[in-house]
Amino acid sequence: MQVLTSRGGRGWRAVEEPKRDANGREIPDEALSEISRNLSDCFRCSNLVVLTGLGTSLHVNRAPAPLDNPLKRTPLEGKAIAPMMRDLWSACKAMDAKKFEEALKLARYPVGDKGENIESLLSYCKLAEDFIDSAAEKAIVASFIKVAEEVVRDQVRFLKVDDDVGLHADFLRRLVRRSTRKLRTKVFTTNYDLCFEYAARKGRYVVVDGFSHTTPQVFDSLYFTYDIVRRESNPDSHDFISNVFHLYKLHGSVDWTRNTDSGEIEKDPHAKTPLLIYPRNTKYELSFEQPYLEMMSAFQAALRQPDTGLLVLGFGFNDNHLAEPILSAINSNLHMKVVICDPALAPKSRGDAIEQGSESWNPHLKKVKYLIDHGDARLAMVSATFEDVVPLMPDIAAETDLEQHLERIRMLRGAS
């Protein structure tokens, strides 16, 4: 792990192995203390906003990587893992190699320059579909887009009910323990998967996600304005319950579908055509259609609130429609605290060479780094994985009686 802040002006600082003084007491690591301090400052804000990306799902069902190849991703036996862009490329190619090669040729996709990036390929194909004159060639490209989107849909449905999402549950536990006198924590995610939903069920947390409590569940942004209170026998007495958070899925979800009869958006875990913003360069335009418009509006409004803490996890700042509102809020909201966490941020040593981090080439992250280097104490960058960061987040309270009871019941069921 490495951290970059304006304190000390010493550039990136790496977390070192634990050291002890002459009396055997552990010496606090300066970089680790800096990470914890910034996370705590973020959590103390009245309005806590979290933005998560693919990096928060990559560990689920992943087998331990070998020491000689720490980047290798293999699933646990009988499990599936969250796909990366190169995984989706390989899956699309494996589905129909001939159609894949035809699409590459017709879309004039420059593999040498763009690499094996399914998002770029689908962007090229979408443009080709709009401008190709030949009806036969247009049909080939359209057919490939349809197949590729089906592959993406199937690949992101990697999660099963019994899969371990304990880290997500621990993450949510730390988020929802904040005082009920503060605004409910808002979690925005670009992921299509159901990791947060499954983790919320595991921890018995209440998710306000814009869907009704009817059957079928129907989307209406009005539900985001509702809250949950506990009312005892005295009708004049009530209090806000804890363990509630808002979940906004900015790019859709594998269990969203549109009812063709009513036109309403419903939840269906087996939806054949889920509502997703598929990876391509039209994500910006699509994000301003319903239901995504409601999510984007809520995201931009949340960033403008006073005393806001923004925690970014596993998001690479490659989506302009999300990165630009963040930068705009940083420029205009002086009462804002921002912590950006991603393992690719800082430069890394690869043998004798130095591999540049995304803070040196991503245009949005370069601006954030510039502000940090010039003394902006509101901002911090942490080069670390989701697994590294969660244990460092403030744990406001110990387990409640209810959580201890649920854990005993879970263990009892396992023993039975």
At position 47, the amino acid (one-letter code) is N
Mean pLDDT of 367-388: 94
What is d(CA 40, CA 43) in angstroms, rounded to the nearest whole number? 5
Cis check: omega of the bond before 66, within 30 degrees of 0: no
Mean pLDDT of 45-65: 93
Q: Are 174 and 286 in contact (CB under 8 A)?
A: no
Task: For the chain, list the domains and their CATH numbers.
Answer: 2-62+161-406 (3.40.50.1220), 85-155 (no CATH)
pLDDT at 392: 93
Q: Is the pLDDT of residue 399 over 60?
A: no
Residues 223-251 pLDDT 10s? 999 888 887 767 776 788 888 999 999 99
pTM for this entry: 0.88
Phi and psi (nearest 5°) for 327? Answer: -65, -40
pLDDT at 27: 80
Mean pLDDT of 284-305: 83
The set of residues, in sequence order, having a beta carbon less than 8 Å from that of 153 and lying 6+ positions away, is 254, 274, 276
pLDDT at 8: 66
Mean pLDDT of 74-95: 90
The set of residues, in sequence order, having a beta carbon less than 8 Å from that of 399 and lying 6+ positions away, is 407
Within 10 Å of residue 296's Cβ, how many Cβ atoms?
19
Of 24-38, 272-286, 306-320, the one with minimum mean pLDDT is 272-286
Average pLDDT, the chain: 87
Model confidence at 407, pLDDT cuts 50, 70, 90, reads low
Model confidence at 73, pLDDT cuts 50, 70, 90, reads confident
pLDDT at 207: 93
Mean pLDDT of 131-152: 89
Residues 322-349 pLDDT 10s? 999 999 999 999 989 999 999 999 988 7
Tokens of 270: 């087996």
Q: Are 258 and 161 in contact (CB under 8 A)?
A: no
Percent of the chain with pLDDT over 90: 45
pLDDT at 181: 84
Model confidence at 216, pLDDT cuts 50, 70, 90, reads confident
User: Between vectors from CA 35 to CA 179 and to CA 369, what angle results, nearest 5°?
Assistant: 110
120-125 LR contacts (CB < 8 Å, sep 24+)? 120/281, 121/89, 121/148, 122/148, 122/278, 122/279, 122/280, 123/280, 123/281, 123/282
Mean pLDDT of 385-407: 76
Within 10 Å of residue 45's Cβ, how many Cβ atoms?
21
Tokens of 320: 């302009």
